[in-house]
Amino acid sequence: MRIDPSLCIRCRGTKMLCGLPYCPVLVRARVRQYVEAVAGRSSVAGSSPPSVFVGRVGWPRVRVYPSVPPVEGDTSRLEDPRAWLEMSIEEFLASRLILARGSVEVDVGSARSPSRLLQDVQLLSLSPRPAEVELELKRPLRPEPVLDEHAPPFGPASPLRSLRLGSLPPPERAVERAYNDLDYPAGEAVWDLYRSGIDVHRISRMLSVGALGVGRRRRLVPTRWSITAVDKQLSDRLLAEVRRMPVLDRYLVYVRRTRGNAFVGLLAPRGFMYEWGEAWWPGTTWNYFGGSPEVEVDWEGPQGRTTYPSIGGCYYAARLAAAEALRAMGRQAAVVLWREIYPGFDLPVGVWFVRENVRALFRERPEKFDDLGEALAYMASHLRLPLDVWYSKSRLVKILKTAL
C-alpha cells in the first residue's frame, strides 16, 4: 500500500489518515532500536517471556525456535494475549518483533526421549514467569520478521548453536504433574491444566514442544496445530456441559469494535448450534487485491461437526470463547458470530486476536430482544455489509428464521 507523504505530515501518527489501523512510521521507530541491537549478532541474551515456536515445514522433521528479546526484566507481556489486546498495533508489533529466535531441526518423535537441548526447551515452556536465556547462533541475525495467520508475530531467526538457561521459576503443581506424569493422556492434561487456571496460550505451547501426554506417545506439534487442537479440545469439553443446561429465554446481541474490525454476536433461544463468519474488505490480509468484500461462513448443528472447518483455526478460537460465555451464564443457545475486517487491517497477527476479542465481546453488556427480526436489525445497524449478503452465506440464521 503506497501512502501519500502529505498524509503523514498532517497525521503524525494520531489520526490514521492513511486508513491503516496502525502507524507504520511509529512501528518502524519502536522496532528500530531493538533490530539494531540484534542485527548482525551471533548471540542474544535476555529474559524470555518464555516463548517457543514450532514450525510445520518439513514435518515430521520440524524446526523448534526458543526465543528471547535483547532486554531483561519482566517481559511477560510479550507472551500474554490478554495484554496484547490492550496494546496499540504499534506496541504489539514492536513488542513481538524484538523476539530473536534460535532454530534447531528435530524429529517430532524426539519428544519421547528428548536431547538435552530439547529438554531445556521443554522446561522453558513450563515456566510461569520470564527466565534468563542466552542463544548462541551459527549465523548472524537478519532483521526478517515472521507473520502467520495462526501464531503471533516473531522476530529474526538463525540456526541455534547452543542454548543456556538461567535458574527457572518453579512451575505450578498442575503444570509439573502434567510434564512429569508419563501415564497422563494429553487430552486429560489439557483439560486439567485449563481447570487449574493455566491460560490456553501456555497450554498450547506445552503441547507444541511435546511436554504433555503419555510418555511413549509424546511428540512435537507445530504451533499452529497445537493452538487449534487446544481450542477444539477445550470447547468440546465445555460444550458437553453447556448442552445439559437450560435454554436461553431471550435473544441477546453483543457488539465490539476494535482495530479495523467489528465483531457481532447473537445468542438465540435454541439448543446449542454455532456459526462463525468473516467478511474481508479489499485491502485486508486475505483479500488484499480484491475489488469487493469476500464472505466466508462455517457452522455446526446440535451434533457438532466431524470435518475441519474451511474457515480455519479462528472457527475454534471463537468457539472456545462462546463456550466459556455460555457456561458462565449457565445456559445453552444457538450462537451466531460474525466478524467484519475493514481496509487497512493487512497484517496476520494470529488466532489469539479472534479468541481474545470474542471473549471481550461477551464481557460487553448485551442488548436484549424478544423478537429475532429486531435482534437481526440491531446487528445490521452495527455492520457495514448489507444484511442480505450475510443472510446469503449464513446457514444458522436460515434455521432460526424457519423455526419461527
Asked if residue 49 lies in contact with residue 105, where contact means CB atoms within 8 angstroms, the answer is: no
Among 7, 12, 5, CA closest to 26: 12
pLDDT over 70 percentage in the chain: 89
User: In this structure, are 266 and 325 located in the same domain?
Assistant: yes
User: In this structure, are 204 and 127 located in the same domain?
Assistant: no
The percent of the chain in helix, strand and coil, each rounded to the nearest 5, is 40, 20, 40
DSSP-assigned letter for residue 247? B
In order of 78, 136, 350, the CA distances from 92 in angstroms are 8, 26, 12
- Rounded to whole angstroms, how far apart are CA atoms 162 and 135? 6
Higher pLDDT, 38 or 395: 395
In order of 184, 229, 312, the CA distances from 204 in angstroms are 16, 8, 17
User: In this structure, are 365 and 340 located in the same domain?
Assistant: yes
**What is the total count of domains within the chain?**
3
Q: What CATH number has the domain bearing residue 279?
A: 3.30.230
Phi-psi region of 34 (alpha: psi -120 to 50; beta: other; left: phi over 0): alpha
Start-to-end CA span in the chain (Å): 47
| pLDDT of 17 | 72
Query: To which H or E segment does residue 132 belong?
Result: strand 131-137
pLDDT in tens, 342-390: 987 877 788 999 999 999 999 999 999 999 999 999 999 999 999 999 9
pLDDT band for 222, please (50, 70, 90 cuts).
very high
Q: Last residue of some domain: 165, 199, 230? A: 165
Which of helix, strand or coil describes residue 173?
helix
- Rounded to whole angstroms, how far apart are CA atoms 326 and 274? 12
CA atoms lying within 13 Å on the CB side of residue 20: 23
CA atoms lying within 13 Å on the CB side of residue 59: 11
pLDDT in tens, 252-264: 999 999 988 999 9
C-alpha cell at 46: 535476555
User: In this structure, are 201 and 292 located in the same domain?
Assistant: no
| pLDDT of 13 | 62
User: In this structure, are 13 and 160 located in the same domain?
Assistant: yes
Q: Is the peptide bond before 366 cis (omega within 30 degrees of 0)?
A: no
Q: Is the peptide bond before 21 cis (omega within 30 degrees of 0)?
A: no
Q: Last residue of some domain: 115, 143, 165? A: 165
User: In this structure, are 27 and 88 located in the same domain?
Assistant: yes
Q: What's the whole-number mean pLDDT along residues 227-255?
A: 97
C-alpha cell at 350: 494470529
Query: For residue 146, what are the domain limits?
Result: 5-165
In order of 207, 211, 252, the CA distances from 217 in angstroms are 12, 11, 44
For residue 110, give the amino acid letter: S
CA 159 to mean position of chain CA atoms: 26
Strand partners, 298: 276
C-alpha cell at 58: 518439513
- Rounded to whole angstroms, how far apart are CA atoms 18 and 3? 6
pTM, full prediction: 0.90
Q: Whats the size of the chain, residue-wise?
A: 404
pLDDT in tens, 7-34: 675 776 666 677 666 676 666 655 565 5
Among 192, 230, 267, 278, CA closest to 81: 230
C-alpha cell at 289: 487485491
Higher pLDDT, 145 or 348: 348
User: In this structure, are 73 and 22 located in the same domain?
Assistant: yes
Q: Last residue of some domain: 242, 259, 281? A: 242
